[in-house]
Amino acid sequence: MDKAILNENNILLNLGSEPKNQAIARVGRLLVQNGYVTEEYVIGMQLREASLTTYVGNGISIPHGMPEYMKYIQRSGIVVVQYPEGIDFGEGNLAYILIGIAGKDDEHMEILSSIALVCQEEENVLQLRQASSKQAIIEILARGEQ
Amino acid sequence: MRSEKITVTNETGLHARPASLFVQLTAQFKSELTIRKDDRSVNAKSILGILSLGISKGTEVTLIAEGPDEEQAVDELVKLIQGNFGEGNSN
């Protein structure tokens, strides 16, 4: 994956569990800090989660903004936050990896499908959960590039 | 087995909310459900599978159902796609 989209500054490892909305806020803050989105986008991320969960199965959640908040994306990027104990996404679902997505225009779909391709394989998800280096996370997510 | 080709016409394509609605519907059927784009097929009951296909507006997909409620499953999925997932049509 392009370094501009995902690099070591976009990854947080081994965080303690916290409530879902705080975890999403953390993912959002990282997107803001690294210059991908403005603050407004984070509101769109919380709204998206409240209206329809971004938990997609296999212990993965992919927080992103509602379509009308896409205009607050400055450039495409993703951030990855690893929670070894998981974040409670309701209905018995725990997300161990949160992948925040800011995809500008058509890049949204490309990024999303490439992440989904990787996270469909439980083996890849297990490796993401157990990764102890940021470089490992980058390498695993790069497996989805077509 | 029942299969049907259909073009996705809603603005956002088959991801985010439409993908969730799609999977909520497929989960209600007993039949094995597959969705195919070009030469890749995935389990239509898996949101990650569907997202991995990257189905945008204007993409043609094939729905394939096999099982006791295959007719109803394909009919209802076609209806959901043709109805643009309730997004309304911008045309």
What residue ranges in chain A does DSSP mark as E strands?
A: 11-12, 55-57, 60-61, 77-88, 94-102
B43 touches chain A (CB under 8 A): no
**Dihedral sign from CA coordinates of A92, A97, A103, A106:** negative
Name the residue in chain A with its Cα closest to that of B47. A56
Model confidence over B2-49: pLDDT tens digits?
A: 999 999 999 889 987 899 899 999 999 999 999 999 999 999 999 999
Q: Which among A52, A53, A109 has CB closest to B56?
A: A109
Chain A positions touching B58 (Cβ under 8 A) are none
Alpha carbon of residue B81 to chain centroid = 7
pLDDT tier, B88 (very low <50, low <70, confident <90, very high otherwise): low
Model confidence over A81-122: pLDDT tens digits?
A: 999 999 999 999 999 999 999 999 888 888 999 999 999 999
Whether the ipTM is more than 0.90: the answer is no
The structural domains of chain A, with segments of one domain joined by +, span 8-144
Domains with residue ranges and CATH for chain B:
2-86 (3.30.1340.10)
Quote the pLDDT of residue A146: 61
Contact A120 B17 (CB under 8 A): no
CA distance B53 to chain A (A): 6
Check whether domain A8-144 has CATH 3.40.190.10, yes or no: no
